[in-house]
Structure 1
Amino acid sequence: MDLAERFKSQDGLDVGNGDVLIAAITSCTNTSNPSVMIAAGLLAKKAVERGLSVGAHIKTSLAPGSRVVTEYLSQSGLLPYLEQLGFNLVGYGCTTCIGNAGPLAAPIEDAVVENNVIGAAVLSGNRNFEARIHPNIRANFLASPPLVVLYALLGTMQKDPLTEPIGYGKNGEAVWLRDLWPSSREIEACMQTAMNPATFRRLYADLTKDHDLWNAITSSTGQVYAWPASTYIARPPFFAGFSMTPVMPAALRNARALAIFGDSVTTDHISPAGSISAASPAGKWLQSRRVASADFNSYGSRRGNHDVMVRGTFANVRIKNLMLPPKADGSRVEGGLTLHQPSGEQTSIFDAAMHYMTDDVPTIIFGGEEYGTGSSRDWAAKGTQLLGVKAVIARSFERIHRGNLVGMGVLPLQFLNADSVTSLEIAGNELFDLEGLDGDIQPQQEVTLVIRRPDGITNRAVLRLRIDTPVEVDYYRHGGILPFVLRQLLVQKKMDCKRMP
């Protein structure tokens, strides 16, 4: 890859690797620190006064977690300087950090995709997992708010702000980091505007005051929600067919591999929070409900609708299913695709899962080290369960996701010693059994994976059951934590009724 190579967009703009395309002061955690927000404002003020500007092609935004932030930035006179650099208020709350940046300008996005440009985003958010910030921006950097402003001015990640000018201002004069970076004394001088309790009381004592749009929203009444038709909120299926008698999980026989993943598969890979592609299963479902692509919003905003979220499971545009053969150049196919077995047909993971469920074929997900790392996203486990997956077998698990899988009635199983998908030569076209789960199961017991290959050869590997505690055994026997808790509540309710005179 030639890092110096530039490409022309349709509107004549040069685009190259390392170019900053998104610069976002975002996230309630970073913007709740007034010292770094004031530092960002002071840096912007010095930059504007020296004649610097941010490229118009860079998507800049300001999205603090509280109205107090814009209040003290205004009182200190710093907000206009941020706005002059393009950091205009877009709202209060989750934006770029959870994939709500929105699209890039079409000519820029086309140039990035067509030329495989590694563009950059710089944001003051908490997460930068693959494809989370933007599906077509591959380099995502977390930074403090003043550094977000600084790199927006630089325009590229390929310059060193410690040894190269940030830009050239009035009369072509070089402007250096030392000219822009605010001192502790300068920050302290503005801090009093951010430490006024009366501001908090005025803005948040009455959350409904001056919110006409919110107050105008009609709502239902009563204690039971009526579940009107909606592509945002739908009645979840987790209690479908519920009864007071739990059905013991059936033995796993003749299972198929739904997907095989490598190391460090994050919950953002499993259940993305960002934009929805029109060509994805979720996008097609929304279009079938007459939702225009411009109104798709994001997976995060539609997490109250299981039909969207299950179709988004394993739909991250950067996820790599190792069941698919590599490309001619050795790189891996990206996106939520798999090979349905035994046909070998390439299809979406969602469509394959529905096919298997229709045929009553259980499925398994295989992974490497650190499966489920990242955000503790409940939908990563919920979506896995709704796809009909009965077990996830990996080299190791992230702690919270392992527990969430158990909570949804999905078996987490761990390879022992040096065993892995690679060492066991699992290709994804085999049939699988799990032995040792009949009858009473024990925390962390051994389970045998039976691998039956198409050529008739059978191999076995010992796994560790990662149901780690007795109460997790109870969760699994009940089909997950939700039916377990509901049965407990109903039993308690019945006992309370009997005690009543």
Structure 2
Amino acid sequence: MSGNKINIDAKNTFTVNGQVYSYYAINKGELAGNDSITRLPVSIKVLLENLLRHQQDNGGSRKEIEALASSQGRGSTTEINYQPARVLMQDFTGVPAVVDLAAMRNALVKQGLDPQKINPLAKVDLVIDHSVNVDKFSSKSAFDENVAIEMARNKERYEFLKWGKQAFENFSVVPPGTGICHQVNLEYLAKVVWSETTENESLVYPDTLVGTDSHTTMINALGVLGWGVGGIEAEAVMLGQPISMQIPDVVGFELTGRLAEGITATDLVLQVVQMLRKHGVVGKFVEFYGAGLAHLPLADRATIANMAPEYGATCGFFPVDQQTLNYLQLTGRDKQTIDLVESYSKLQGLWRDETTPKADFSDTLLLDMSDIEPNLAGPDRPQDRVPMRQLKTATDDFIDLNGKGQQKTTDFPINDSDQSLHHGSLVIAAITSCTNTSNPAVMLAAGLLAKKALAKGLVKQPWVKTSLAPGSRVVTDYLVETGLQQSLNTLGFNLVGYGCTTCIGNSGPLPKPVQECIEENDLIVSAVLSGNRNFAGRIHPQVKASWLASPPLVVAYSLAGTTRIDLSQDPIGTGSDGEKVYLKDIWPSNAEITELLKSVSHQMFEKRYSAVFDGDKEWQAIQSGEEANYQFSDESTYIQKPPFFEPQYRDNFSNIVDAPILVMLGDSVTTDHISPAGAIPKDSPAAQFLRNHGIDEKDFNSYGSRRGNHEIMMRGTFGNIRIRNEMTPDKEGGYTHLQGQSQAMFIFDAAMRYQQEKRSSVVIAGKEYGMGSSRDWAAKGTLLLGAKAVIAESFERIHRANLAGMGVLPLQFMAGEDRKSLQLTGDESFDIMGLEGEMNANQTLDAVIHYPSGKQRKIQLLSRLDTAIEVDYYRAGGVLTYVLNRIVSKG
């Protein structure tokens, strides 16, 4: 594969049911006969097709194509330009992205240019799913009441999104109350194979996407390559910018055997998460293969793919096979689409069956699924798997860790009740999250367990707040069809909404007597949810121990009312006959679940998705402006024009000098710590801002719902109630102190003081900085607080890219150095040199640490601007200003 020819000829045609399609064959022409292409991981083949199809758009693409074709599943520093077909958004991340686009239009108008030069070039689907809260629960009217509250709280945001729907091309909005974006994507939006018809041809290519939610990877189960990015990077893709990335390592994960009787996909994925997080797959692709895939339904694969962010991978990919076609048929995709998927996948080498040879991988892991046991994960990290039989011990250990061990057997009365709580009591049991509600088997298992529990005379404990929030309306259809919804209702798992709810932290308030009992006695209480995230402070501010579990286990623990129990041998309760009831007595059999799965039909999916963009009458009644240039209102506390395009945030060509440390953090700091999504604490800077603008506490809503207002979000940055700044070791939450002083103050207030003094600051952190959600406000907020650089031992992929995309310099300590070896206390300041001249990707920069004693120490730091385009983005002050500059320069 050499020579001076610019383009590699790869065009070919094929026919499906009499219709002719063209495609770019990855093993044709100059690439034909290259055996290494045949052995490429399927996920890399998808990237290779993308490069071939876009080779005329990208300078230097021939080098990229040849490097990728010969990569053998191993990563390299070769940069490739990847152009996904579409973008998926949810409303928490989608609103600020649309705000940014509206602000870019404003900036164009200021320069006398047409605002409609800012328009999505890629298809964009935004699904409103993150806004509904569990305010009402355990009642027939809970759903209707929560929807009414949601619409009232979020009227401004929804008006704004409706404006965006009419103002931008290629932009659609799935209204609230429809489902969770990843489940809607899996069940309806994704095509697996995309076709683009023009006058001359019907061009076919793999369905690919990026999403502004880290769990976009769920779609990998369908053989669709997609992963989460920050809203910043997604906006760049929308505006025609390719994603610049280095060729990734692909780790092969072999699955053998099959799940034993009574074991769920949730039990499996928690084992997978633990294995891969321990192995280390940050920035890598993971691709699943092996004989076990034949026994793994697509819904189970979706559970595993969904949690790729939890094991740290860019994606968790499953090739197309017969299970894929079965699922497409089940969910109502048309016959031509299904036949096209099969034909194209086999032609292109994207198909998997028992005869498929093993691909070349950079490394491999093996898991025999028959070894899986019932699992949970927690108390505050999804990778910390705890077998169900060990949960009592794990809860006791956590109680001891928090200094409450001597009170483990103490009962604390609930006010105005004959009930009591103890350390380890369960106060939230939530069936929630696309991770599990997309899987009919585990949802039906939850309903069956509820039915069997009722037959034994069991009831849920009264202090447990229970909720059911499916990811699509189809779930309700099959639960009603089987009669299991009634059993769930009887135990308090009434429908509360179609959205993320508790998984994103929208768990709503606890009943007041329970809340007061927890506060008065400083109790360590628990939540159990069928979600994917349980980071400290995320699920509920009063819940310190949160455990991820399968939907049937969520129901089971609601019956027990505590996590200080070993359900493998302790009775779950006493039946109406006075006999002890054990979990094994009410656990549904695989045969029972299989029989009920027959009730899930393609007609359910076809009916529910026939009018997916219409919404209910409340949504349809929302009015919005029709102007192309959005008119921001100074009075709004939800939508404000961000300052990112102002001169002070453009161009980075100066060294960083005498920058104090704003905050110094340890390992595994998540984007939830940096930019929380949940409730706005009543004593926080954000709360004070809202009070000053006439907003009552009951109407504060959440940080996530107010991401369209930078004034709120910058005040919430580093504002998680569980964050630990090592500069203020005696205070938990968003506190720091000024350089050379000892008085604790809000991080926001300290940042404003430094800005008044015209001093930039830096953030210091440990390993795995920026774990978790693809939260662009974690980078935007850092910028607005005046931090010019983040210096960490290592970064998670998405947050590192977000920092670069906002013009904040991500820097990495050299091997053997960290905040401890450098004896940092937080009273030091940093000079970072080498930013004025030419910069390269992954450049080593000189830095000077100024200690309070007057001593100086010179060190080197590795720039984690990983690609040349990231250097360009940083220089411009961020990707948005980079794109805006290019548009302005063209006039």
TM-score (norm 1): 0.93
Matched, 1:286 2:690: yes
1:55-454 correspondence runs (5 A):
55-195=461-601, 197-207=602-612, 211-228=616-633, 229-241=635-647, 247-324=651-728, 326-327=729-730, 333-454=731-852
Q: Structure 2 counterpart of 1:213, which letter? A: E
Q: Structure 2 counterpart of 1:144, which letter? A: S
Which deviations, in whole Å up to 9, do the C-alpha atoms of 1:292-341 show, x marking residues without a partner?
111112111111221111111100000011111x44xxxxx210000022
8 Å contact kept, 1:208–1:214 = no
CA positional deviation for 1:146: 0.8
CA positional deviation for 1:190: 1.5
Q: Give 3-state SS (helix, strand or coil) of 1:193's partner.
A: coil
Residue 499 of structure 1: aligned partner: none
8 Å contact kept, 1:271–1:316 = yes
8 Å contact kept, 1:98–1:300 = no
Which deviations, in whole Å up to 9, do the C-alpha atoms of 1:96-143 show, x marking residues without a partner?
001100111223223223333221111111111111111121111111
Provide the C-alpha distance between the structure 1 equivalents of 2:516 and 2:761, rounded to a whole number of angstroms.
37
CA positional deviation for 1:222: 2.3
Structure 2 gaps of 5+ residues are: 1-404
1:254–1:208 distance in 2 versus 1, CA, 3 Å: closer
1:477-488 correspondence runs (5 A):
477-488=875-886
8 Å contact kept, 1:151–1:157 = yes
Provide the C-alpha distance between the structure 1 equivalents of 2:471 and 2:639, rounded to a whole number of angstroms.
24
Residue 357 of structure 2: aligned partner: none
CA positional deviation for 1:286: 1.4
Q: Give 3-state SS (helix, strand or coil) of 1:315's partner.
A: coil
CA positional deviation for 1:475: 0.7
Provide the C-alpha distance between the structure 2 equivalents of 1:433 and 1:52, rounded to a whole number of angstroms.
65
Provide the C-alpha distance between the structure 1 equivalents of 2:615 and 2:643, rounded to a whole number of angstroms.
38
Provide the C-alpha distance between the structure 2 equivalents of 1:294 and 1:317, rounded to a whole number of angstroms.
19
CA positional deviation for 1:242: 8.7
CA positional deviation for 1:487: 1.6
8 Å contact kept, 1:99–1:132 = yes
Which deviations, in whole Å up to 9, do the C-alpha atoms of 1:367-416 show, x marking residues without a partner?
01111111221111111111111010111111221111111101111111
Normalized per residue, which structure has more helix? 2
Provide the C-alpha distance between the structure 2 equivalents of 1:96 and 1:389, rounded to a whole number of angstroms.
32
Which deviations, in whole Å up to 9, do the C-alpha atoms of 1:64-83 show, x marking residues without a partner?
11111111111110101101
Provide the C-alpha distance between the structure 2 equivalents of 1:110 and 1:170, rounded to a whole number of angstroms.
32
Aligned equivalent of 2:860, options 439, 456, 462: 462
1:182–1:225 distance in 2 versus 1, CA, 3 Å: same
TM-score (norm 2): 0.53
8 Å contact kept, 1:96–1:133 = yes
Q: Structure 2 counterpart of 1:25, which letter? A: I
Q: Give 3-state SS (helix, strand or coil) of 1:475's partner.
A: helix
Provide the C-alpha distance between the structure 1 equivalents of 2:413 and 2:702, rounded to a whole number of angstroms.
30
Q: Structure 1 counterpart of 2:618, which letter? A: L
CA positional deviation for 1:208: 6.1
CA positional deviation for 1:253: 0.8
Q: Structure 2 counterpart of 1:206, which letter? A: A
Q: What is the root-mean-square deviation of aligned Cα atoms in Å?
A: 1.7
8 Å contact kept, 1:99–1:298 = no
Q: Among all aligned residue pairs of Structure 1 and Structure 2, give the percentage whose two residues are the same amino acid.
A: 52
Q: Give 3-state SS (helix, strand or coil) of 1:172's partner.
A: coil
Q: Give 3-state SS (helix, strand or coil) of 1:443's partner.
A: coil
Structure 1 gaps of 5+ residues are: 328-332, 495-501
Q: Give 3-state SS (helix, strand or coil) of 1:170's partner.
A: coil
Alignment length (residue pairs): 484
